[in-house]
Structure 1
Amino acid sequence: MPVLCRPAVAVPEHTITRRETLDLARRLHAGHEQLPLVLRLIENTGVAKRHLVQPIEATLAHPGFEARNALYEREAKARVPAVVEEALAHAGLEARDVDLIVYVSCTGFMMPSLTAWMINTLGFRSDTRQLPIAQLGCAAGGAAVNRAHDFCTAYPGANALIVACEFCSLCYQPTDLTVGNLLSNGLFGDAVAAAVVRGSGGVGIRLERNGSHLVPDSEDWIAYKVRETGFHFVLDKRVPGTMEQLAPALVDLAALHGQDAGRQDFYLVHAGGPRILDDLGSQLGVPAEAFRHSRATLTEYGNIASGVVLDALRRLFEEGGPAAGATGLLAGFGPGITAEISLGRWTGVPAHSGVPDQTGASTHTGASTHTGVPAGVAS
């Protein structure tokens, strides 16, 4: 069965704290009639610090959509290779062992996708399949896991590489003064993450079932408006209550698998904000501690979009991992409103043991973070 292995995650060297964000909002938007609301919303995000690909002075400038997108391409090519190399090492594989690359990003655009550059530059075979996903936003991390699971189930023994590259700061829009956009200025951060799904062997989550759910008639709740200056983030006030409609989808998928969504041993959930996690915990009847890895990502990095679920998994590995056979749920939430959900079990040697797995690669490494089957069918 396919196994989701230990991820690698890298965040840029430039940082901004919550205090600095609030000070900037007060200075830049002093006359905004809803500034007190914006400040309160940013305070309530739970974000203490975020990482940016540029210093804050450069981030606040807007040289135009073309220049922004060119910077996205340069930064992706500069930062993705090291993360990919580390993720492959965690899985005990080399680039030539990969049969599919799933690349997810919603903060820049390239055609051909970065996957073509990776194949040409990083040692992947020329017959490696490419699956770029650009329009699922924060849900794309979960979708990437699910599509890799599907592929490795359809082609037993195949391996898939997932890469999430999100430079959310390149979507900053200085003239967009809507409350949702101003909130996003204090919520999103930049990061690159990668992980391998092995078709056989490996240590991590043995993926057993996946599914998707779309909340009807919610297309405009989370969206991009594509304008001359680039992507403008739209966030509807109904989004914080989304879990009331999405939690039943998690419950139903787990029930199909003979499990209780509220009785999993670990949870790796996209953290759009603390209320999302609070409401999901309430809906499922699980304690706040169950989402500690997602909360830590939100606090230390902000909302890193499609990278959140992979960073939460990285933190689970660094904690030592659960006992073999422990059951878990992974879920990404994003535009649509879309949920991408996975169920699996922990497999292999405990992550902290340092004992080689069946690939011959050691499962004990240092900290991974640097600065600078069809849905509904159990495999």
Structure 2
Amino acid sequence: MTNDTVKLVSLALATPENIILQTDAGETAAKLFAHRYREFKHLASVFANAGITKRHAARPLAWFTEPHGWQDRMEAYAEVSSALFVEAASAALDRAGLTGRDVDCIVTVSSTGITTPSLDARLAERMGFRADIERVPVFGLGCAAGVSGFGIATRMARGRPGANVLFVSIELCSLAFRLDELTRPNIIATALFGDGAGACVLSTRAEGLAEVESTGEHLFPNTLGIMGWKIDDTGFGIILEQSLPPFAQENIKPAITAILNRAGLGITDIDRFICHPGGLKVLAAFEAAFELAPGFFDIERGVLADYGNMSSPTVLFVLERAIQAGLPPRSAMIALGPGFSASCVTLKKAA
């Protein structure tokens, strides 16, 4: 028996094998930038104050001390993202009691690299996907894609009762590291971002870890410059406005309220927010906006400490820990990303 209630059937995570300690990242950045960028001494404290202990990276630390162009970066992206895709997706399917042949639709999100054919096609034979699988590769949603992509996968599952939808989120943020960018955003990105992947199976067919109740997004007008990429021959270059935390504090609650209202819900209906931890200042802005006690987002801070900001999959790492801790009756996953946009998915505790 199936109905239109979509369940989160399984969840799995993956990270590259290379680990960069934050202390080593700070020391290496000082060697690379301090003698070339006068403002570095004023920014160096971000490595110690970011709340990050370690991060996983697509390449060893020494790789980042040498110049790399677009081809180097995309070759690394294709190699490592493929390995993470297989690891995370295979584990999610195994936990759901499925194989690649059981997947009817796959939604893949990533904004830190490009492959054509897309990853799902490149790995179809290895994963055992059927020839009639529906593929939805999505690029450009950035940090919000972990929630937005989850929402897309949910709607695909709801529109196809009984289908198994695989959602995969992969980001290799470290490959955007720039030796040539002597800017504040680049130094902050060097201190903040890491690499990782997450995968989920969504379906109306089976019992699950949680029921997906609603999905929604909000696009803020006249905000294109807050976050994104500039692209040149060297690769991606970070666009990151210093005003992001105060913008989040002022705007996140009205945006999430509007999304919830469209689903017949309100802020007071949410027992726990599960947030993408974009950084300590953004988490503090969320706590202030939703009138929560400072330090409320303890799981989010724990994930940030262990992995850094991995962009889109980070919220799935938070979700895994929230599930392990025990979900309350209703949770809301939320994230902000380029556009500038907010995304929200509400989850109900599995019956």
Establish whether TM, by shorter chain, passes 0.5.
yes
Which of 253, 261, 275 lines up with 2:259 in the alignment?
Answer: 253
Higher deviation after alignment, 13-22 or 286-295: 286-295
- Matches for 1:135-174 after TM superposition, within 5 Å: 135-174=140-179
Q: In the alignment, does 2:52 pair up with 1:59?
A: no
Gaps of 5+ in 1: 349-379
Alignment deviations for residues 301-330 of structure 1 (CA, whole Å, 9 cap, x no partner):
0001110111111112232x235xx10001
Q: Distance in 1 between matches of 2:228 and 2:265?
A: 33
Q: Distance in 2 between matches of 1:181 and 1:289?
A: 27
Matching residue of 2:349: 346
Shift of 1:236: 1.1
Say how many residue pairs are matched. Answer: 345
Q: Distance in 1 between matches of 2:294 and 2:115?
A: 39
Alignment deviations for residues 102-156 of structure 1 (CA, whole Å, 9 cap, x no partner):
1111111011100112322211111111111111111111111110111111111
Q: In the alignment, does 2:103 pair up with 1:128?
A: no
| Paired AA for residue 23 in structure 2 | R
Shift of 1:62: 2.7
Q: Distance in 2 between matches of 1:215 and 1:12?
A: 34
Cα distance change on mapping 1:25 and 1:262 into 2, 3 Å:
farther
Q: Distance in 1 between matches of 2:167 and 2:198?
A: 8
4+ residue segments displaced more than 4 Å: none
Q: Distance in 2 between matches of 1:235 and 1:25?
A: 19
Give the structure-1-normalised TM-score.
Answer: 0.87
CA RMSD of aligned residues (A): 1.7
Q: Distance in 1 between matches of 2:78 and 2:254?
A: 39
Match of 2:63, SS state, is helix
Matching residue of 2:292: 286
Matching residue of 1:186: 191
Shift of 1:176: 0.5
Shift of 1:36: 3.0
Which of 281, 294, 307 lines up with 2:313 in the alignment?
Answer: 307
- Matches for 1:241-280 after TM superposition, within 5 Å: 241-243=246-248, 244-262=250-268, 264-280=270-286
- Matches for 1:1-379 after TM superposition, within 5 Å: 1-31=5-35, 32-243=37-248, 244-262=250-268, 264-288=270-294, 290-319=296-325, 321-322=326-327, 326-348=329-351
Higher deviation after alignment, 276-285 or 4-13: 4-13
Higher deviation after alignment, 117-126 or 297-306: 117-126
Give the structure-2-normalised TM-score.
Answer: 0.93
Matched-pair identity in %: 30
Q: Distance in 1 between matches of 2:204 and 2:141?
A: 25
Shift of 1:290: 4.2
Task: Please tell me whether the aligned partners of residues 147 and 315 of structure 2 are also in contact (alpha carbons under 8 angstroms).
Answer: yes
| Paired AA for residue 13 in structure 1 | E
Shift of 1:226: 0.5
Match of 1:297, SS state, is helix
Match of 2:340, SS state, is strand
Task: Please tell me whether the aligned partners of residues 22 and 53 of structure 2 are also in contact (alpha carbons under 8 angstroms).
Answer: yes
